Structure 1
Amino acid sequence: MRFLSLAHLTAIDLDPPALIRAAADGGFDAVGLRLLQVTPTSPGYPLWEDAHLLLETRAALRETRVTVHDIEFVRITPDTDVDALLPFLDIGAELGAREVITAPYDPDHARMAETLGRLSVAASQRGLGIVLEFFPWTDIRTVDDALRLATQAGPSVGVLPDSLHFDRSGSSLDTLAALPPERLRFAHLCDAPVLPAYNETTLLYAAREERLLPGKGQIDLAAYLQALPAGLPLGIEVPRTKSFQAIGGAELIKETGESVRSFLKSLMT
């Protein structure tokens, strides 16, 4: 069975200690923590500013033996200040994270690559990798776009595919399958309806609010997973806001873990 990490967006209203404990109960090996706020309507948890929450997070990791796989996410914009991100990187390293997720929001691709390169150097000094996630509503919308930018940024900058964004951007399975190991270190998994066309509103709503558990939508996840290395870690990112409100975060995470393991097992038979 693959190494499974629970992405924070799946239950973003749970703080890190609660997410970690729920992930353990749900059978996950690790979590991704959203330490930086991404949108005005969703929380981030800057642990370097909250000593008590950091202490509770450490305690939850110690008690459950769940690990931190990644921290997120850095919006690479024209104004991104790498030095200002050092406390974020320091906490990620302290918690044992492996990767830092970044997102492309600078229209000047040369400048974005330079920023990514500098961030990658700072991260590597702390034992962290940098990965670039691509989105169909940004300039870096496909896996090919992300690979070009990552290559320009430096030899250790990775590419992070998410099955939702991969499908909705029309990305190439051939490019995905050909990504070298130093570029492809983990992937996100979820499902969703497949529609004839998408606008930015529908793209963002699915991405941030309502996805489907693997096997419950129409994305060709079998082909997506077949293009990935067999042992590649998977980040399970399945926000289901209505279900969260109905059954709570702990039950939603347990349901998510059971569903993902069942789906992956079904592909092996």
Structure 2
Amino acid sequence: MPQNPKFLNLVLLSGEPEHKLRAARAAGFGQVEIWREDIDASTPQLANALNLGFTNVQVLRDFTGAPGDERLQKRAELREFIRLAQTIGCDTIQAPATTREDCIPERIDEDLRWLASEAARYNMRIMYEPMAWCSVDNTLPLAWQRLQRLDQPNIGLVVDLFHICALGGDASQLDGIPADRIYEVQLCDMADVPPQGKEALSEYARHQRLLPGDGIIDVARFVDKLKSAGYCGPVGIEVFNDDLKAQPADVAAQRAWQALNRYWP
């Protein structure tokens, strides 16, 4: 894998999946984060024609600690994600920490071990993301503590600047995390400190994130820390923003490419 592949999360773009893939590639991105809903029969052939790779398939929600029979349903869902990932030649699935209030915390370690083992059978990796509104592991330090304890070689962290900074964190949260245990870095920004509370945070995150450099996050500090640590994994843009999504996909993709290259040329 080349150093620091640059990706765009397709959530930024409007339009049909083919249009989004073409817009991302034309802007300069070599990879995309693709959502399960954007994968169709033409995706593998189009990606091959565009020489476009996939950073991961999104997003296996609320897998860990699922109560009752839902645990088996989630395991079946993982297998469907694996099938989709194999179809498009992708080796990574994103599975954030759970947001459920009725999760069973005592099951989480066991579920992650099973997740790692099942993914490994297909040479797949799992990206574990601490989100600000998760009911467990809602910060990078907490998620890293869990992964250290479990010591599964094919589960790594997602570093998302929004989720760190939304709860008052900063780049110091990267201290002590080996670069090879970070599977992906998602850059973004925000206009101000978002409202607290899970629903308010989630609502803000899904509609009002900004491109890096357009808000208050010290993006450069994060970048300096990551480069100093020798991080060579994927780095890209994950921005949920209604105004940007209303723009033509090629325009939004080009703006994202320019913003990314200001910080990671």
C-alpha deviation, 1:15, in angstroms: 4.1
Q: Which residue of 1 aligns with 2:201?
A: 203
Aligned: 1:10 with 2:12:
yes
3-state SS, counterpart of residue 104 of structure 1: coil
- One-letter amino acid of the structure 1 residue matched with residue 188 of structure 2: C
Cα offset for 1:264? 3.1
Within 5 Å, which residues of 2 pair with 1:36-185? Answer: 44-45=37-38, 47=39, 53-54=40-41, 56-75=42-61, 76-77=63-64, 78=66, 79-80=70-71, 81-105=74-98, 106=100, 107-138=103-134, 139-156=136-153, 157-171=155-169, 173-185=171-183
Counterpart residue type for residue 70 of structure 1: N
Could you tell me which residue of structure 2 aligns to residue 41 of structure 1? Answer: none
Q: 1:113, CA displacement in angstroms?
A: 2.2
Q: Residue type matched to 2:257 in 1? A: G
1:32 aligns with 2:53: no
State, as a whole percentage, how many aligned pairs show the same letter: 21
Q: TM-score, normalised by structure 1?
A: 0.83
Once the two structures are superposed, residues 112-161 of structure 1 have per-residue CA deviations (whole angstroms, 9 ceiling, x without a partner) of 22212212222122222111111121222111111122234442221111
Q: 2:23 matched to which residue of 1?
A: 22
Unaligned runs of 5+ in 2: none
How many angstroms does 1:100 deviate by? 1.1
Report the equivalent of 1:39: none
- Contact 2:8–2:237 under 8 Å retained in 1: yes
Residue identity opposite 1:16 in structure 2 = P
* Cα separation, 2, equivalents of 1:185 and 1:115: 20
Q: Which moved more, 1:174-183 or 1:18-27?
A: 174-183
Q: Normalized against structure 2, the TM-score is what?
A: 0.84
Where in structure 1 are there 5+ consecutive unaligned residues?
36-43, 48-52
Query: What is the count of residue pairs matched by the alignment?
Result: 248
Q: 1:221 aligns with which of 212, 215, 219?
A: 219
Amino acid of the structure 2 residue aligned with 1:209: H
The letter for the 1-side match of 2:124 is: L
Quick one: which amino acid aligns to residue 5 of structure 1? F
Deviations 1:26-68 (A, max 9, x none): 1101011111xxxxxxxx34x4xxxxx22x1112111110111
Cα separation, 1, equivalents of 2:250 and 2:116: 34
